[in-house]
Amino acid sequence: MTTIYDFNVTKPDGDRFPLYHFAGKPVLIVNTASKCKFTPQFDDLQKLYDQYREQGLEVVGFPCNQFAEQEPGSSHEAESFCQINYGVKFSIFSKIDVNGNQAHPLFDYLKKEGPFEGFDEENINAKLLKLMISDKAPQWLHGDAIKWNFTKFLIDREGKVVKRFEPVHPIDDIKSYIEQVL
């Protein structure tokens, strides 16, 4: 059975990084961007990492420029931006595509194992996100495509997807899921 440990990713310096290095640890995988309205989530992600890393949590970011070109720089620039502006100490990997023909196989796997559960129509931020996607990236609106930057996937200690969280999902709710896999 496939897990995230079957995939390799690339560091900003070009070195290959096999995800089996995270074996036995819960992992929160996030597609990121430096110029997005959700970019301040780096603060919350770093806080999650600080709070739970002693218990094994890894947080990993994958910069992506597929959503309104909100990650225009290089992989090194994206990594530096996170470190300088948000004090990010968790791993930021090379820029990738998360949707379409050039999507990284890791994200194809994540989308298959953590399908889109729909927009919470009671949540105003979810409604606004849906409207923005309809306007800026309608090709990603339907199906299991990543809808926007800062979609998160929680992985358990066996390398399997536990839950997908959309960009507007409250961080406090994500904490409760993290605590279940620690």
SS (H, E, C) 44-111: HHHHHHHHHHHHCCEEEEEECCCCCCCCCCCHHHHHHHHHHHHCCCCEECCCCECCCCCECHHHHHHH
Q: Domain containing 30: what range? A: 4-181
Q: Which of 112, 95, 107, 99 is nearest to 32 (CA)?
A: 95
**CATH number, residue 15:** 3.40.30.10
Domains in the chain, number: 1
User: Model confidence over 20-29: pLDDT tens digits?
Assistant: 999 999 999 9
The answer, as to whether pTM is greater than 0.75, is: yes
User: Model confidence over 53-86: pLDDT tens digits?
Assistant: 999 999 999 999 999 999 999 999 999 999 999 9
Q: Which of 9, 33, 36, 96 is catalytic?
A: 36
Query: Strand pairing of 16-18 and 27-32?
Result: unpaired
Q: Write down the pLDDT at residue 120.
A: 87
* Whether 64 is catalytic: no
Q: Which of 106, 99, 95 is nearest to 13 (CA)?
A: 95
Q: Write down the pLDDT at residue 75.
A: 96
Q: Write down the pLDDT at residue 37.
A: 93
Taking 70 as the pLDDT cut, the residues of the chain under it are none
